[in-house]
Chains A and B, each alone.
Chain A
């Protein structure tokens, strides 16, 4: 097994040296053909992905090139050490898919999934190919840390397995709360907060007074609605940072509009990437569904399908100013929150069913995990930046370090990276525990029948 991986790794090393914008079109083309796509369509898909990459690179350069100097100036003037820029998940997803691990992540994650279904360790068929980037991201960091692609792949595979088990574990609750029968959410970021939120929620159940507090989603959406509009948020943050950096009026306005542009354009570039990946994702979905039609399965989807819930939106909106405040006041944090401020719904979406939609509790839990997350992303920023350079993202080297709340602040990513740092035994142990948990959950957790 290891030998096969090494041969594949060598092949992909050559490919990766071409750069993500050339490598991924080739990989996606080959995978498309393997999944039975027509040549023309597979070629078009691959090319779109390459174009998406170049687009993301342009915007990343715009972001780091403008925000980096402003952050540095702010550090010099006030001694607020926020020199690591949160570039947001679009960039991290591109870094992850553009890594060597990313090139192999689709067959690896599908393979892990198939094996776990065959051995009755999961009921989830994860068809959310796009979000395989979370596993690739962990793998990319591990590959940087250990200087070994094989360990990167192992960590990515274990990450995929853990997320499947978590999707099974939370499926009854998620299906019930969001009213989405037969679906589970094997999302690398959202699911990571479940094991933290459950004990915290139980604790709050026991505290009299705290137990009864809740907030009204409509009031919150009216009051905090502005945080739900990325371009306005980009503008305001850009203006504020320009002022803090001591820029002149013209430069301040310029930074404001540039940051508004980044907030609007980043997702547009990702959309191109998504368009390229969609046909392959559909083909993989049909392939997996046909294979396991006769089994009791959950279809594993993007947690984005639940994000529209009023409590999830409201909690995420409140968490925006809280995140900025935490970044400023927490000693030892160096991350300047920016790109992922608009993506906080992903952090809360699986916490919400645990608190039964209670916004107050979800906000408390969210605040705690973000506080810890800022330290995690500060700690992982060096690897994050190295992974970006390794994937040929050529923003100014040495100018600034980058991170993103998704997945730079992800506790699951952190555990897997640090465990691999400890040695093979630690990551092996995590793998074994995951399989044991999968075995137990498969047999003891079931979705309510009346929903199906």
Chain B
């Protein structure tokens, strides 16, 4: 089963690329196949509607109401509390 993850950040480029790399590595270690996309926060709603994502990872303030689980991964950028977020993501990947 491939997990489909959307990473949302302010630009769809900068911080989401950093987190993309990290989630790819986490998935590799956990032995889970992932399909990761990145989006700008203003485009996120449309992207979610058009595709079947399993969960959302954000590196920015996220104020839209969505039906998907949302994990805030700002910690992966700052490095403070990173392990905790990693565990949350691994749990979601293995679900």
Contact = CB atoms under 8 A, between A and B. Distances in A.
Nearest to A317: B42
A71 B40 CA distance: 29
A289 B79 contact: yes
A345 B21 contact: no
B60 A278 contact: no
Interface string B29-46: 000000000101111001
B43 to A, nearest CB: 6
Interface in A267-284: 267, 270-271, 274-275, 278, 281-282
Given A304-B10, A308-B8, A308-B10, A299 B21 contact: no
Contact of A285 (B15, B40, B74, B79): B79
B63 interface: yes
A274 B13 contact: yes
Interface residues of A, number: 40
Contacts of A217: 63
A308 B62 contact: yes
A303 B10 contact: yes
A296 to B, nearest CB: 13
Interface in B52-91: 58-63, 74, 77-80
Contacts of A275: 17, 21
B79 A271 contact: no
A310 interface: yes
Given A182-B78, A271-B17, A278-B21, A307 B12 contact: no
Contact of B10 (A271, A281, A306, A317): A306
Contacts of B41: 307-308, 313
A228 B78 CA distance: 27
A346 B10 CA distance: 9
Contacts of A299: 78-80
A16 B93 CA distance: 45
A130 interface: yes
A312 B74 CA distance: 18
Interface string A223-240: 001001110000000000
A77 interface: no
A132 B79 CA distance: 19
Contact of B15 (A228, A302, A309, A317): A302
A69 B93 CA distance: 50
B23 interface: no
B6 interface: no
B46 A304 contact: no
A405 to B, nearest CB: 14
Interface string A279-298: 00110011001000000000
A317 B18 CA distance: 26
A229 B46 contact: yes
A305 B79 contact: no
Contacts of A304: 9-11, 14-15, 59-60
Most chain B CB inside 10 Å of its own CB: which residue of A303, A305, A313, A346: A305
Given A267-B11, A345-B10, A305 B80 contact: no
A267 B41 CA distance: 14
A183 interface: yes
B19 to A, nearest CB: 10
A301 interface: yes
A180 interface: yes
A180 B74 contact: yes
Nearest to A282: B18
B13 A267 contact: yes
B14 A309 contact: no
A358 to B, nearest CB: 16
Contacts of A270: 13
Interface string A326-349: 000000000000000001011001
24 contacts: A130-B14, A183-B74, A217-B63, A228-B40, A228-B43, A267-B12, A271-B13, A274-B14, A274-B17, A278-B21, A301-B15, A301-B74, A302-B77, A304-B9, A304-B10, A304-B15, A306-B10, A307-B60, A308-B8, A308-B41, A308-B63, A309-B60, A345-B42, A346-B10
Interface of A: 127, 130, 178, 180, 182-183, 217, 225, 228-230, 267, 270-271, 274-275, 278, 281-282, 285-286, 289, 299, 301-310, 312-313, 317, 343, 345-346, 349
Q: 5 smallest A-B Cβ distances: which pairs?
A: A304-B10, A228-B42, A307-B10, A308-B60, A310-B63
Given A304-B14, A345-B42, 11 more contacts: A228-B42, A230-B43, A270-B13, A304-B11, A304-B60, A308-B9, A308-B63, A313-B41, A313-B63, A343-B11, A346-B10
